[in-house]
């Protein structure tokens, strides 16, 4: 594989942390976009921690909403990986789906074109479509359309729920189970919507492999694990791995929506109105094309969470 200079947005996040490490291990030089306030969120006390340990990783201080900073940061790079996205909005802070999904994508695409960088990998989401009900998915689709019309050598990835050591999904429920045996379970209007969790290591491996696979150019890949589950089944598997006995209390979705109307502006409230809307629909796919193209054996959910839950403090 030819080593590249890769510029990564969202590299300080959950998926980005794993991806950056894999890029470095594969021999690529990586520039990670870092906001000044969050400079230590991935690299510990020093944003050069990975570089100091032998990897070719350096931070670039900028903002995806600032085209000028991106134009400066992308100079002399061979490829761009755009991971930035949000799962909830904070309107008073200007953190919106429109800005962080659509405007940020426009900025990074334009900065890449300014420097004639052709290779571009994009993180989207499973369930994205022009007719999606949730604004999260609507804006993800708008971003995809910008990518498809860009003229770049793009690859788009659409994962289902991603789980791993630093996720906010499995770890949230595991934390509840460790603290108390009663776990709330949102009861959706339709019977048992399905999720297809995929391991963060598998997602990151797909991104890294795509850099050296020209056949992935112009392609969109749906990503999901080898099996789909209801949320109730997911809770049962987490409890099994933790060796906890739990009692699931069903909470009507209308009641959670009512609470979220007043509380989803606070980070500590576990679910937003947008997330409740998405929970009413299946989030599943056929992962065969992804698995075959990238030769990645997909990690089963229980096997994957055992790699980090059983070693976490109880």
Alpha helices (H) along 101-134: 104-114
In this structure, the dihedral spanned by the alpha carbons of residues 125, 131, 134 and 138, taken in order and rounded to 10 degrees, is 60
Of 35-39, 176-180, 239-243, the poorest mean pLDDT is in 35-39
Average pLDDT, integer, range 261-273: 73
- Can you tell me the distance from the alpha carbon of 22 to that of 84, in angstroms, rounded to the nearest whole number? 18
Residue bearing the bigger pLDDT, 125 or 90:
125
pTM: 0.89
Q: What is the per-residue pLDDT for 271?
A: 76
Proportion of the chain above pLDDT 70, given as a percent: 90
Asked if 80 and 121 touch (Cβ cutoff 8 Å), the reply is: yes
Average pLDDT, integer, range 309-313: 69
pLDDT exceeds 50 at position 15 = yes
Which of 30-39, 68-77, 270-279 is most confident?
68-77
Does some domain include residue 73? yes
Split into its structural domains, the chain has a count of: 1
Size of the chain in residues: 314
Does some domain include residue 245? no
Band (278; pLDDT cuts 50, 70, 90): confident
Does some domain include residue 107? yes
Does some domain include residue 21? yes
Three-state secondary structure call for residue 180: coil
Q: What is the per-residue pLDDT for 226?
A: 96
Quote the domain boundaries for residue 213: 5-164+198-225+284-298
Does some domain include residue 275? no
Q: What is the per-residue pLDDT for 189?
A: 58
Domain of residue 102, CATH code: 3.40.50.720
Band (87; pLDDT cuts 50, 70, 90): confident
Proportion of the chain above pLDDT 90, given as a percent: 66
Q: DSSP labels for 261-300?
A: HHHTTSTTSS--HHHHHHTTS-B---THHHHHHHT--PPP
- Can you tell me the distance from the alpha carbon of 26 to that of 24, in angstroms, rounded to the nearest whole number? 5
Band (185; pLDDT cuts 50, 70, 90): confident
What's the DSSP call for residue 27?
Answer: T
Does some domain include residue 172? no
Band (298; pLDDT cuts 50, 70, 90): very high
Does some domain include residue 30? yes
Band (44; pLDDT cuts 50, 70, 90): very low
Does some domain include residue 307? no
Of 3-12, 57-66, 122-131, 184-193, the poorest mean pLDDT is in 184-193
Residue 249's DSSP bridge partners are 184
């Amino acid at each position: 594989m030819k080593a590249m200079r890769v510029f990564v947005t969202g590299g300080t996040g959950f998926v980005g942390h794993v991806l950056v490490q894999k890029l470095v291990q594969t021999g690529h030089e990586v520039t990670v976009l870092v906001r000044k306030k969050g400079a230590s969120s991935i690299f510990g006390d020093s944003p050069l921690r990975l570089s100091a340990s032998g990897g070719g990783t350096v931070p670039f201080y900028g903002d995806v909403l600032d085209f000028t900073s991106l134009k400066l940061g992308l100079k002399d790079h061979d490829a761009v990986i755009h991971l930035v996205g949000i799962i909830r909005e904070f309107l008073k802070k200007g953190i919106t789906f429109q800005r962080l999904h659509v405007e940020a994508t426009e900025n990074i695409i334009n900065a890449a074109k300014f420097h004639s960088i052709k290779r571009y990998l994009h993180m989207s989401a499973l369930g994205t479509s022009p007719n999606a009900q949730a604004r999260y998915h609507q804006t993800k689709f708008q971003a995809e359309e910008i990518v498809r019309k860009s003229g770049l050598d793009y690859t788009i990835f659409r994962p289902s729920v991603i789980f791993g050591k630093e996720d906010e999904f499995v770890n949230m429920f595991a934390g509840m189970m460790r603290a108390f045996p009663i776990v709330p379970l949102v009861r959706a209007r339709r019977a048992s919507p399905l999720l297809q969790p995929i391991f963060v290591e598998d997602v990151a491996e797909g991104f890294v492999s795509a850099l050296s696979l020209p056949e992935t150019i112009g392609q969109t890949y749906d990503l999901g694990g080898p099996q789909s589950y209801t949320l109730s089944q997911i809770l049962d598997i987490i409890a099994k791995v933790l060796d906890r006995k739990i009692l699931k209390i069903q909470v009507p979705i209308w009641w959670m929506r009512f609470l979220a109307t007043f509380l989803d502006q606070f980070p500590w409230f576990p679910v937003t109105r947008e997330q409740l809307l998405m929970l009413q629909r299946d989030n599943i796919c056929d992962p065969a094309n992804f698995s075959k193209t990238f030769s990645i054996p997909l990690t089963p959910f229980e096997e994957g969470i055992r790699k980090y839950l059983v070693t976490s403090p109880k």
